[in-house]
Homo-oligomer: A and B are copies of this chain.
Amino acid sequence: MSQDAIVTAAMIVIGDEILSGRTKDKNIGFVADYLTGLGIDLKEVRIVADEQDDIVEAVNALRSRYDYVFTSGGIGPTHDDITADSISAAFGVPCLPHPHAMKDMAAYYAERDMEFTEARQRMARTPEGAELIDNPISKAPGIRMENVYIMAGVPKIMQAMMDAIAPTLKSGTKMISQAIDCPFGEGSIGAGLGQIQETHDQTMIGSYPRYDDGRYTTQIVVRARQQALVEAAILDVMSMLEELSED
């Protein structure tokens, strides 16, 4: 059973606009789905303000604890885009213009008859020693610094960067999950489900209440890294639901 490969990750969403409610985050759900598809377990997400101390603390807390850390936001050309500086500070290295990024971006703007402004040059800065992540949409790159992947906040660009990163990540044994929609509220199934969880200790059994039109129903989700484990737990859940239906 312990042949399962476990790979873990955390995500840091950087941006005052998410915390104020002005912008509704669309990246967390995307990254959660994406990593689950790769067999990587997203274990924690933090949303922090555009404040260097807050970013440094989150990055340093998470990069030692998980295999990968993904960030979104704060890598644009304006004064409130401080992710590259903050992650440099977290690693204790200077934030410097990256020669390849400078060259590629200069060419990109020249082709478009656009000025490679000082503001745009900010986007070519990385922590010293970092690698670039390709941005096929608007050129300004993402950044990999050791196990920290720094991505854009704009969802389309973040998603393209995730596609660029994915082939380089080690993936774990995928979690297999099966869901059962059940007509009972959690209060009716709670005790039985708890017993099933105890006898299936390598399987994660979750229950998610829904409340619509004045009544509760539940979605029961069984997850494990082996199909046989999922199936065995599902059988026990089905038996429990049949017994409840007969009552």
Contacts and interface: CB of A to CB of B under 8 A. Distances in A.
A187 to B, nearest CB: 4
Nearest to A22: B221
A235 interface: no
B45 A46 contact: yes
A23 B59 CA distance: 25
A106 interface: no
Interface in A110-160: 114, 117-120, 122-123, 137-138, 154, 156-157
B119 A191 contact: yes
Contacts of A231: none
In the complex, the 4 A-B pairs of residues with the closest C-beta atoms, listed nearest first: A119-B190, A21-B32, A21-B33, A79-B194
A44 B44 contact: no
Contact of A78 (B20, B46, B80, B207): B207
A68 B145 CA distance: 34
A147 to B, nearest CB: 18
A241 interface: no
A170 interface: no
A49 B44 contact: yes
B194 A119 contact: yes
Contacts of A194: 78-79, 119
Interface in A46-61: 46-50, 54
